Every structure is written in C-alpha cells, then in structure tokens.
Amino acid sequence: CEAFDNPGDGIRVQDSSGVRLFNNLVHSNGGRGIAIVGQGSGSPDAEVIHNTVARNGERGLTVGTTAAASPRAYVRNNILFENGVPSLPHLRVITNPRSDLGYDGDSNLVHPPNYD
C-alpha cells in the first residue's frame, strides 16, 4: 500500500492487537508516518516489517501513547527517512506506560539517526 498526503498520520493502528504492517510506502503525511497507538487497550503485538516511511510531518514511527501501552511490538527492516524535525526522534517507543516491554526492533535504517 501507499499512504500519502493525509493531513494526519499515514497509517494509524489504534486499540487493535496483532496487526501486521508489511511492505508499505508511507510518505508526505502531516502527522506520523506509522502510529501504533491506543486510548483504551493499546495495540499490543504489532508487527511493522519492511516499510519505507519518509518525509512525514511529525515522525516516522511511534509505538504507544501516554494513555495506553502497546507492548511487544516487532519492528524490523524498515527505512525511516527525513521524518519530522531533525531534533525529534524519528522512531519513538513510549516508556510510560511501558510500550517498551517485549519491544523487538532491529535492522531498521533511521536517517538522521535520531530515535527514542
């Protein structure tokens, strides 16, 4: 899929468990490229694999919110390129509440290399 030119997030998974995002091109959106978030139950066990996320307004990828954790995300082999403001994280995993529990992220190309 290609998600582009949206005023908000390119792809937003909210309060849904076990979602797999695979091989998408997400670019030129006003908010985050990909948001794995929630207000109630969160979005646990998400898989974000082989996506290209570029030039979005806020950041490339966010896992979790301050309202609900989205633990056990599997984030592999993604390209996050020139998203948001260079001083802000392009890849962010919220730690309060604990979306970082069980987080498995590796082999992602993040440019500029700014992540949290």
pLDDT along the chain (116 residues), means of 10: 97 97 98 96 97 96 95 97 86 94 94 79
Q: Which helix (H) or strand (E) holds 104?
A: strand 104-106
- 49-86: burial string, b at 16+ Cβ within 10 Å, e else: eebbbbebbbbbbbbbbeebbbbbbebeebebbebbee
Name the DSSP letter for residue 74: E
48 beta partners? 21, 75
Report pLDDT for 113: 81
DSSP class of residue 115 equals B
Which residues 6+ apart lie within 8 Å of 53 measured at CB?
10, 26, 27, 33, 34, 60, 61, 78, 79, 80, 81, 83
Give the pLDDT confidence score for residue 114 in this predicted structure.
77
Half-sphere exposure of 6 (CA within 13 A, CB side): 16
pLDDT value of position 85: 82
What pLDDT sits at residue 71?
97
* pLDDT the model gives residue 83: 94
The per-residue pLDDT for 112 is: 82
